[in-house]
Structure 1
Amino acid sequence: MKIAVTYENGQVFQHFGHTAQFKLYDAENGAVVSSQVVDTNGSGHGALAGFLKDHQVDALICGGIGGGAQMALAEAGIRLYAGCQGDADQRVAELLAGTLVSADGATCDHHHGEHHDCGDHGCGHHEEGHTCGHC
């Protein structure tokens, strides 16, 4: 199984479409056997699902993610665990242990400069549950 995590400084990066790196984990028999950090080389929202498919990713752990990207991942057959935050390695361990919880309300629509409510996915720009206009 190959798992990707939106990645920045050891943490789950909170905006799928803006991630500059993924940490890719190869897992066998419920344990990580190898991992590597790969650059997205500037791939944006639309290209990231293809980038992950090209890397034969089976599951993605991320923070906020838009509806279009969710559909592209589903079409690519990649299982999505959204609304995650904190230590990337710990989230992967939880996924492998069957205890990782994917948060509802992790969709984040950052388009057209509109304000949005990031709900509880912890976009890092405001206190939990408050509306932010950082986009």
Structure 2
Amino acid sequence: MKIAVTYENGTVFQHFGHTEQFKVYQVEDGRVTGTEILDTNGSGHGALAGFLRDAGVEALICGGLGMGARNALAQAGVTLYAGVTGDADAAVQALLADRLAYGTEANCSHHDGGHDHTHHGDCASHGCGGHCGA
């Protein structure tokens, strides 16, 4: 199984559509057996779900994302764990231990009319470049 995390400087990057890197964890028998960093090469919101699918990713841990991204990930067969903050490695370990705190309503939805900042503070703190209109 492969788990991807939106990634920046060791932490879960907070805006899926603007992530420049994913850290991908290869998991076997409930433990991490390898990792790699994948650059998105400027792929934006629309292409990232396909990027992950093509990389063989089955689950994604991320901060916020909009409904379009959620739908694209669902169509790509990627299980979503959104609203996660903090250390990327710790988040994966928590997921594997069935202890990951994540939100079902973690939105960074400047494309579809709103933005829920309850999971990560203001736009400046989560790296969406102020696109969210906080």
Corresponding position of 1:23:
23
1:49-60 to structure 2, matched below 5 A, reads: 49-60=49-60
Read off the aligned partner of 1:48 and give its amino acid letter: L
Identity across matched positions, percent: 60
Q: Whole-Å Cα distance in 1 between the matches of residues 105 and 54 of structure 2?
A: 28
Q: Would you identify which runs of 4 or more consecutive aligned residues in structure 1 move more than 3 Å?
A: 114-117, 121-124
Read off the aligned partner of 1:6 and give its amino acid letter: T
Q: Whole-Å Cα distance in 2 between the matches of residues 35 and 123 of structure 1?
A: 30
Q: Whole-Å Cα distance in 2 between the matches of residues 115 and 78 of structure 1?
A: 24
Q: Tell me by how many angstroms 1:68 deviates.
A: 0.5
- So what's the TM-score if we normalise by structure 2? 0.88
Aligned-pair Cα RMSD in Å: 1.9
Corresponding position of 1:47:
47
Q: Which moved more, 1:97-106 or 1:86-95?
A: 97-106
Q: Whole-Å Cα distance in 2 between the matches of residues 28 and 115 of structure 1?
A: 38
Q: Whole-Å Cα distance in 1 between the matches of residues 114 and 27 of structure 2?
A: 39
Structure 2: 5+ residue stretches without partners:
none
Structure 1: 5+ residue stretches without partners:
127-132
Read off the aligned partner of 2:40 and give its amino acid letter: T
Corresponding position of 1:73:
73
Contact (CA 8 Å) 1:14, 1:124: kept in 2 or not? Answer: no
Q: How many correspondences in the alignment?
A: 128
Q: Secondary structure at the match of 1:116?
A: coil
Q: Tell me by how many angstroms 1:124 deviates.
A: 5.8
Q: Whole-Å Cα distance in 2 between the matches of residues 122 and 57 of structure 1?
A: 28
Corresponding position of 1:93:
93
Q: Tell me by how many angstroms 1:120 deviates.
A: 1.6
